[in-house]
């Protein structure tokens, strides 16, 4: 989000500068009894003087503004995706954390260390981690028997990391399809 | 980048202003403020009348306000394009008689990175010195190998490398952000 915010902020700031400069130029021109210089504002003035609030154009523009404002607000107020999960640290001035991708990778490695697991995919969110492993065997019973060893290995990794708020773990093991 | 908070705040205020303008327009146009108001022209209201009557001083005041807004926006653009949150040279003073030492941030981050990369289980390391040179902060990102003992590695990082960095700057309370990552590269097999 921050990456997109920068060009968006640049465009917004540039628009503010342009609009402000136009207002300054037009005010100076008006005070000097000259005509409009950059924008033909008397035409806008006449349009606003004859347009009523209940006109269709006002309704349409109001809806456009509501949608545009809601999009910007939703974009800006959406909580940022968690990228670091904090760890306990002995030193007060140290803010140690595990990256989300790093945690996913270490849980994946823990699952792959278990005999009988051929593939594993891990999704880490703010409060939960999901391990979806695939067994080398094709039958369901063999896959189910691997759930507890995989969960135990993943739990062990989480405990070793000394996380401040360890995510809840959910482990599933699927039998190999073919 | 330290303008991130400003960007977010300004864009939130802009989004809110646009949204509220739209809501106001829709309420008025659908008769929310009375049928009579909805049939009025856009400029047939007290505010427009006041502006029309006091335009001789109001418009110059608006232009002055716009000048202020333009200057603030230009400073914002300069911050967006030119500024960095990286610290410049850090002056280290240890007692008034012993003189001062100028530490280049790249020297500290380079030494720290090289030390960390010698640790067992480390794939890559990166360090940056951020903030004001008088009150710097360190951000260290360490990517461990998949087979690394993360608990042992973290303990060593905190007790050795980070402690050395604090000692080098003569600042035992130096704020350090340590980000641990794990490489997704499969370790090469030894045949």
pLDDT of residue A59: 95
- In this structure, what CATH number is given to the domain that contains residue B153? 3.30.70.1350
Q: The tokens of B159 are what?
A: 């007790």
Contacts of A62 in chain B (CB under 8 A): 21-26, 29
Q: What is the CATH number of domain A85-174?
A: 3.30.70.1350
Give the domain range for residue B151: 90-182
pLDDT of residue A178: 63
**A69/B21 touch (CB, cutoff 8 Å), yes or no:** yes
CB distance from A53 to chain B under 8 Å?
A: yes
B44, B60, B82 — which closes off a domain?
B82
Q: Is residue B189 in some structural domain?
A: no
pLDDT of residue A73: 95
SS (H, E, C) B87-135: CCCEEEECCHHHCEEEECHHHHHHHHHHHHHCCCCEEEEEEEEEEECCE
Q: Is residue B159 in some structural domain?
A: yes
Distant-in-sequence, close-in-space partners of A148: CB < 8 Å, separation ≥ 6: none
pLDDT of residue B35: 87
pTM to 2 decimals?
A: 0.70
The Cα of A29 is separated from the nearest Cα of chain B by a number of Å equal to 11
Which uninterrupted H or E stretch holds A106?
A: helix A100-112
The pLDDT tens digits for B21-56 are 999 999 999 999 888 888 999 988 888 889 989 988
Q: Is residue B38 in some structural domain?
A: yes
Does residue A58 contact residue B29 with C-beta atoms inside 8 Å? yes
In the predicted model, residues of chain B with pLDDT beneath 70 are 1-2, 94-98, 187-191
CB distance from B13 to chain A under 8 Å?
A: no
Beta strands in chain A (DSSP E): 84-86, 94-99, 117-124, 128-135, 168-174
pLDDT of residue B90: 79
The Cα of B187 is separated from the nearest Cα of chain A by a number of Å equal to 11
pLDDT of residue A78: 87
Helices A100-112/A147-161 angle, 10° precision: 140
> What is the radius of gyration, based on Cα positions, of chain B?
29
Query: Does B159 lie in the same domain as B109?
Result: yes
Query: Does B78 lie in the same domain as B94?
Result: no
Query: Does B100 lie in the same domain as B69?
Result: no
DSSP letter, residue A139 = S
Q: The tokens of B67 are what?
A: 């000048």
B82, B113, B130 — which closes off a domain?
B82
CB distance from B17 to chain A under 8 Å?
A: yes
In the predicted model, residues of chain A with pLDDT beneath 70 are 1-2, 178
pLDDT of residue A148: 94
Query: Does B100 lie in the same domain as B63?
Result: no
Distance CA A111, CA A134 (A): 10
Task: Find residues 23-42 of chain B whose CB sits inside 8 Å of chain A.
Answer: 23-26, 28-31, 37-42
- Residue tagged 């290995």 (tokens): A153
Q: Which residue of A has its CA nearest to B9?
A: A76
Query: Does B20 lie in the same domain as B67?
Result: yes
Counted domains in chain B = 2
Distance CA B81, CA A10 (A): 9
Burial category of A102 from C-beta neighbours within 10 Å (exposed 0-12, middle 13-18, buried 19 and up): buried
Contacts of A43 in chain B (CB under 8 A): none
On average, the pLDDT of chain B sits at 88
- Best mutation site among B150, B158, B177 for testing chain A: the one with the most A CBs within 10 Å? B150
The Cα of A27 is separated from the nearest Cα of chain B by a number of Å equal to 6
Query: Does B145 lie in the same domain as B95?
Result: yes
B82, B117, B137 — which closes off a domain?
B82
Dihedral, CA atoms, A149, A152, A157, A158, nearest 10 degrees?
Answer: 150
Query: Does B128 lie in the same domain as B58?
Result: no
Q: Is residue B187 in some structural domain?
A: no
Query: Does B108 lie in the same domain as B78?
Result: no
Query: Does B96 lie in the same domain as B74?
Result: no
Query: Does B133 lie in the same domain as B77?
Result: no
Q: Is residue B191 in some structural domain?
A: no
Q: What are phi and psi of A131, to 5 degrees?
A: -110, 120
Q: Where in chain A is the domain with CATH 3.30.70.1350?
A: 85-174
């Amino acid at each position: 989000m921050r990456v997109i915010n920068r060009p968006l902020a640049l465009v917004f700031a540039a628009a503010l500068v342009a609009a402000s400069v136009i207002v300054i130029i037009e005010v100076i021109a008006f005070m000097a009894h000259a005509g409009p210089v950059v924008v033909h504002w008397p035409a806008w003035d006449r349009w606003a003087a004859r347009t009523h609030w209940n006109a269709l154009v006002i309704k349409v523009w109001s809806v456009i503004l509501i949608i545009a404002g809601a999009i910007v607000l939703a974009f800006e107020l959406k909580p940022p995706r968690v990228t670091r999960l904090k760890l306990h640290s002995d030193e007060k001035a140290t803010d140690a954390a595990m990256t989300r991708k790093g945690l996913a990778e270490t849980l994946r490695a823990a699952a792959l260390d278990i005999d009988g697991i051929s593939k594993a995919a891990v999704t880490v969110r703010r409060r939960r981690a999901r391990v979806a492993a695939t067994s080398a065997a094709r039958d369901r019973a063999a896959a189910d028997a691997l759930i507890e060893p995989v969960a135990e290995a993943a739990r062990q990794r989480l405990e070793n990391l000394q996380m401040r708020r360890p995510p809840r773990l959910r482990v599933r093991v699927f039998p190999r399809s073919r | 980048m330290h303008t991130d908070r400003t960007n977010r705040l300004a864009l939130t205020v802009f989004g809110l202003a646009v949204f509220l303008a739209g809501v106001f327009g829709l309420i008025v146009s659908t008769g929310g403020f009375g049928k009579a108001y909805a049939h009025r022209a856009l400029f047939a209201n007290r505010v427009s009348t006041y502006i029309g009557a006091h335009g001789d001083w109001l418009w110059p005041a608006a232009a002055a306000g716009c000048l202020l807004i333009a200057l603030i926006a230009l400073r914002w653009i300069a911050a967006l394009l030119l500024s960095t949150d990286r610290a410049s040279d850090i002056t280290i003073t240890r007692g008034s008689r012993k003189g001062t030492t100028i530490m280049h941030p790249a020297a500290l981050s380079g030494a720290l990175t090289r030390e960390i990369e010698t640790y067992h289980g480390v794939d890559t390391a990166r360090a940056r010195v951020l903030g004001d040179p008088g009150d710097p902060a360190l951000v260290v990102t360490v990517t461990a190998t998949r087979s690394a003992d993360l608990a042992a590695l973290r303990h060593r990082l905190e007790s050795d490398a980070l402690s050395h960095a604090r000692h080098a700057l003569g600042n035992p309370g130096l704020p350090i952000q340590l980000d641990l990552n794990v490489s997704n590269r499969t370790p090469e097999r030894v045949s």
